[in-house]
Structure 1
Amino acid sequence: MVKSNLGVRSHVSRSGAVLRFTELGFGTAPLGNLYRALDEDVAALTVNAAWDAGIRYFDTAPLYGLGLSETRLNPLLRRLKREDYVLSTKVGRLLKVVPPEQRTGIGKFFNTPSRQEVYDYSYDGVMRSVEFSLERLGIDTIDVLFAHDVDIFTHGSKEASDRRIRELMEGGYHALAKLREEGTVKAIGAGINEWQVAETLARAGDFDLFLLAGRYTLLEQEALTSFLPYCAEKKIGVVLGGPYNSGILATGPRAGAYYNYEPAPPAILDRVARIERVCASHGVKLVEAALKFPLGHPQVVSVIPGGQAPQEVTRNAEIMGAKIPSGLWSDLKGEGLLRQDAPVPK
C-alpha cells in the first residue's frame, strides 16, 4: 500500500452538505475500456489501487464504457461505508439497447455492452438517468451530479450547444435542484469541455461545482479571464479533469504526443518543450508540475487524471508528494509560459 500524500479540500454545497475531496481523484473513463479493453481483473486491481493510494474521490459517467465504468466501481463502493468517499456521476445521456454494430463509441470504447447514447437533458431524462446509475453503482445516494457535455466540443457548434443548454435549464436543471433538495444528491453542477460554456451555466443557475476538462492546466489558463473569478465570487468549486491535456503534459513533447485528443501541433510541442526545460532547471519533472499546478487555485477541489493500470494510479499518487520550488512558477511566468495572475501551489 502506498503511503498517502493526498491532501483534502472541503466544499460546502448549497444544500449545506460538506464534501471532502482528496486533492487527487480518480477519473474512471479508462475503466470503460477507453481506447483499449481492460481485463476484468486489471480493472478491479486498478480501482483497488486508487483506494489503497488514499484516493477518496471517484468520478464516473454512464458514457464511460456505456455503463461499464459505473458497473466496475460497484464492487468497491458496496463494501465501503458511504461516508468514506465522494462520488460523482453524470446525466444527459440515456443508454439504449441496440445491435452491436450500432453501438456508440466504436473505435473509442472497446468490448462494451451494445448500447447507444441518446442525449436527453429533460427533467424526465435526468430522473431516469439517475435511477439507472444508482442501479449500476449499487448505492442509494450520489454526492455530486453533473450535467454532462452541453458544450461545443460534444455537439459540434455553438448553436447546437446553446440548444442543449436551453434544454437543460428549462428541464433537467429543475430535476437536479429537486434531487439536491430531497437529498438524493448533495451537490449539482456540470461536466464541460469549455470554460466559456461552464461560465454561461454558472450564471444561469445555482450550481455547486463544475468539472472542467483540460481548460485550466500548465498549458492553458484562459479560464482565469472570467470563469474562475466568478466561481470564487459565488463560492463554486471546480474539479479539474484532463490535467495532462490528453497526455502531452505527462509524456512530454515526444513524437506522437496527444493534445486535446489529437496529435499535438508544432506550436504546442514547442511550448511544452520550453516548459519542460524550465522544470528540468529546477529538478522537477514536467508531469509533477502539471499535476500540481491546478491545485494552486483556491476554487479547485481536486484533479482527476485517469488510470488504466494499478501502477499508473499509484504513480499519480506518488507525484502528489513531489516538492515544487516556488522559483519554478516565477520562472515560468518570467518566460511568458504561465499567466502572471495564475495562483500557484504553496
Structure 2
Amino acid sequence: MKTRIIDSSGSRITELGFGSAGAGNLFRPVPYEDITKAINKAHSLGIQYFDTAPHYGAGLAERRLGVALHDLPRAYIFLSTKVGRVLHADKNSVKKDADCYVQASPFDREYDYTYDGIMRSFEDSLQRLGVSQIDMLLMHDIGELTHKEKNRVYFQQAVEGGFKAMTELREQGVVRNIGLGVNEWKICDQAMEHAQFDCFMVANCFTLLNNDITQTFTDKCRKNQVSLIAAAPFNSGILAKGSKGLGHYFYGEAPQDIVEKVIAIESVCEEFDVSLQAAAIQYALRYDCVKSILIGMTNDVRVAQNVAWYEEDIPEAFWQALAPVIYSK
C-alpha cells in the first residue's frame, strides 16, 4: 500500500487507515474475534495505520487494539490515540451502555483538556494499549459541535494547558506527532494560532458531500506544513450505501438535498463505471496535504472491500466531470 510523509515530522503513514470505534462496540456489540480478524486482515493487506481513542467503548477499543497489535512488528505500525476525556471507574457497573457504545467498559467519561488531564489520559492510554510511545496524539472533540456553549471554557483549558502538555510529550519523544481529532475543521484553524501542530484528523468534513475545507484551509495547512487525515469518508454511511440504501448522514437521517446530491454523484459514477465508494475513499487523497483516509472497520470482509475500493482505478476525466457536482452550492 502506498504511504505518505507527514510533512513536519517525516513520519510515514499508509494512505488507508483502520478506525477502531467499532472495536468499542459503537451502536452494537462486536465480538473480539471479529475485531482481531479485521486487524490481522488489514495488516496483511498493507494497512499500517491504526487509530483509537479512550472514548471508544470507554477504553474497550484501546484494550482490544493493543492486544491484537501486540504480536505484529511494532516498527511497521503507525498508532494514534486521543486525549480530552479522562475515564473514571464506575464501581456499580460491570459493563456499561453510554454515548452510543453498548456493553462497554465500566467507566464514566469526563471532558478534561487541562495540562494534568491530558497527561493522565495519555498515561492511561499507554497502559491500555500496552505501548511505551505513540506515533500521533490527537486532542479529541474540541469544538462547538460537541460542546456548544461550553466550548469557550474547554478551548481555554486547551490553550492554557492542554496544548502545552501535548507539546512537552512530543519534545520528550514519547509522541512523534500532535494534533486535533475533530468533526469540524474550523476549530483546527483556530488552534493553529496557539501551538505548532503536525496533523489534524477531520471527520465527516473532507468528503464528496462536505468539502468547504478545500476553499482556504487546505492551502493554509500546506503553507504551514500541517498534514491532514480525512476520517469518515462515507459521511457515516450514505456514501457507502448510496441513495437507494439511504445510510446515515452525520449519524442521522439524510436530508433531501443531500440525497439529491448523492444521486447526482451516482450519475457521474455510472457514466464512468466508477464505484461511489471508491470515489468517496479516494477523493481527499487528491490533495497533497492529506496523508491518509481513515475508515471504521469491524470485520475482515469489510477490510478487504475497503482496500479494493481504495485500489480501484479512477480516470482523471471522472474527477473533472464530478467537480461541478460536488463543489456546487
Which TM-score tier does this pair reach, normalised by the shorter chain? Answer: over 0.9
- Alpha-carbon separation, structure 2, partners of 1:232 and 1:202: 13
Pair 1:338-2:326 in alignment: yes
Amino acid at match of 1:57: Y
TM-score normalised to structure 2 length: 0.96
**Contact preservation (8 Å) 1:77, 1:139:** no
Q: How much has 1:134 moved relative to structure 2?
A: 0.4
Matched, 1:304 2:294: yes
Answer whether contact 1:253 1:269 (CA < 8 A) is retained: yes
2:2 to 4, 7, 20: 7
**Offset, 1:102:** 10
Q: Which deviations, in whole Å up to 9, do the C-alpha atoms of 1:67-96 show, x marking residues without a partner?
A: 011111112332233321111100000111
Match of 2:225 among 232, 235, 239: 235
* CA root-mean-square deviation: 1.6
For 2:134, the aligned partner's letter is I
- Over the matched positions of the two proteins, sequence identity in percent amounts to 37
Alpha-carbon distance in 2 for matches of 1:140, 1:80: 15
Post-superposition offset of 1:332: 1.4
1:3 corresponding residue in structure 2: none
Residue pair 1:306, 1:313 contacting (<8 A) in 2 also:
no
Q: 2:236 aligns with which of 241, 246, 268?
A: 246
Contact 1:27/1:60 (8 A) holds in 2? yes
- Pick one of 314, 317, 328 that aligns with 1:327: 317
Match of residue 168, structure 1, among 122, 147, 158: 158
Instruction: Please name the residue that 1:91 is paired with.
Output: 83
Q: CA deviation at 1:97?
A: 1.2
Shift of 1:103: 4.8
* Counterpart residue identity of residue 246, structure 1: S
Contact 2:119-2:165 at 8 Å conserved across structures: yes
Gaps of 5+ in 2: none
2:185 to 178, 184, 195: 195
Moved more, 307-316 or 94-103: 94-103
Aligned to 2:168: 178
Deviation at 1:279, TM superposition (A): 0.6
Q: Letter of the 1:94 partner, please give it.
A: V
Which residue in the other structure is 2:98 paired with? 105
| Amino acid paired to 2:327 | R
Calculate the TM-score normalised by the size of structure 1: 0.91
Structure 2 residue matching 1:162: 3-state secondary structure: helix
CA distance in 1 between partners of 2:7 and 2:220 (Å): 17
Listed as ranges, the gaps of 5+ residues in structure 1 are 1-5, 341-346
SS of equivalent to 2:193: helix
Whether contact under 8 Å (1:33, 1:110) holds in the other structure is yes
Deviation string 1:192-245 (CA, Å, 9 cap, x unpaired) is: 111111111123211110000111111121012222111011010001111000
Provide the residue aligned with 1:343 in structure 2.
Answer: none
Are the counterparts in 1 of residues 143 and 187 from structure 2 also a CA contact under 8 Å?
yes
Amino acid at match of 1:79: D
- Name the counterpart of 1:273: 263
Q: CA deviation at 1:104?
A: 6.2
Q: Give the CA deviation at 1:261.
A: 0.5
1:7 aligned partner, one-letter code: K
CA contact (8 A) 2:95 2:103 kept: no
Q: Distance in 1 between matches of 2:64 and 2:176?
A: 23
